[in-house]
Amino acid sequence: MKVLVAGDLCPHGRSIFMIEENRYTEIWNEVPNVVDNHDYSILNFECPIVEHEAKPIEKCGPNLKCTPKAVDVIKYAGFNCVTLANNHLYDYGDTGVQDTIKALGKSGLDYVGGGFDLQMASKVLYKELNGGTLGIINCCEHEFSIATKTTGGANPLNVVNQVHAIKEAKSKADFVLVIVHGGAEHFQLPSPRMKETYQFFIEMGADAVINHHQHCYSGYEIFQGKPIFYGLGNLMFDWEGRRGGIWNEGFMVSIEFKKTHNPSFNIYPYTQCDKTPSIVLHNDTARANFEKRLQELCDIILDEKKLLSENEKWMQKGSRYYLSIFQPYRGKIMNTLYMRGILNSLVPNIIKNRIRDYIECESHRDKLLYLIKNEL
């Protein structure tokens, strides 16, 4: 069986007008031809459909939403399924989740990774396809969208739960595909934690692991004969001020699953929402250039020291912005002086160590998040 997986789709900016005007051919160009050559195709639906009155939830970052027209543009391209486990599914609370799942149900599109509660969101999707049964598991890192026992949202990344899901899927399906939404935004490499986790999923029985979320593409590796893709990039996500850079490039990955050997794969690189709000597949020259840059990322991923070094550089970038939240400075002027290094930290080391302990230790972190959430 041949399965196509693509990254984040979110109607935004110029693409909203094209979707509302049914200009689907201009949006997709040759993408439907690629989709048609596969038994099953999946993309990440990066925002909820909101048809009824709903207030945006309080969170960091933008609250995204779209209309049911987004379903039409997805179906026009020929995609069969959307992943819902991402950091925007719950942007408009339970109303957004309910409207989204209702619209997907009417359209006939499959979905995985989201639901009216945690039990529904964590279900494995099984599909009978040419060549056998495929089990699809979808989860995301914790960021304002996670489902609970009583509220809707996304299936959270939880290694124990995902391993149980992989083992269940392995007993019911011929092949298991794990799709994760996570990583550092605008950073083109996985963290050592991501690499360790995704490799563990392969060890536990997954036949392929695919990640998206970072708004840029990353590299891949073959681990124990199975592919792990660490970032696909945006599929369709127009954003003013984010043009002419890594935001605008990505790739779809085609995986062929066969019972007689390990999966094989091919990639389809493209440019999206740059000069025009559309997806344009790379020609031979652009593809060769893209694959060269992609290989550079793959080489770093395979080298633990280089990967650790690049991650450390990323962690240091914008460190004062992160640390400013722990400072007592308040007001625009005082905060600006601190971030420019003019004012020193007023937090003593004993408090810094306590903060570090609360964040690093899982048990302390559980309590800290609980207290903060309840205080808010």
133-171: pLDDT as tens digits: 999 999 999 999 999 999 999 999 999 999 999 999 999
Give the per-residue pLDDT at 358. 83
The predicted model gives 207-234 an average pLDDT of: 98
Domain 2-310: CATH architecture, name and number where available: 4-Layer Sandwich (3.60)
For the chain, the residue count is: 376
The predicted model gives 344-365 an average pLDDT of: 81
Alpha helices in 138-283 (DSSP H): 159-172, 192-203
The predicted model gives 37-56 an average pLDDT of: 97
Instruction: Please give the model's pTM, rounded to 2 decimal places.
Output: 0.93
The predicted model gives 238-255 an average pLDDT of: 96
The whole-angstrom separation of Cα 80 and Cα 111 is 9
The predicted model gives 338-358 an average pLDDT of: 82
- Residue 349's pLDDT band, with cuts at 50, 70 and 90, is confident
Domain extents for the chain?
A: 2-310, 318-375
Give the per-residue pLDDT at 184. 93
Closest to 60 in 3D by CA, of 179, 185, 151, 150: 185
Q: Is the pLDDT of residue 213 over 80?
A: yes
The strand pairing partners of 134, in sequence order, are 127, 175
Q: Is the pLDDT of residue 376 over 70?
A: no
Give the per-residue pLDDT at 293. 98
- Cα radius of gyration (the chain): 21
The two three-digit tokens of residue 123, written as one number? 């279900």
Place of tokens 């959270």: 156
The more confidently predicted of residues 334 and 261 is: 261
Place of tokens 């690499």: 195
Give the per-residue pLDDT at 348. 81
**Amino acid of residue 205:** G
Strands (E), 261-366: 261-272, 279-281
The predicted model gives 349-361 an average pLDDT of: 83
Distance, first Cα to last Cα, the chain: 49
Give the per-residue pLDDT at 374. 79
The more confidently predicted of residues 83 and 369 is: 83
DSSP 185: T
61: left (phi over 0), alpha (psi -120 to 50) or beta: left
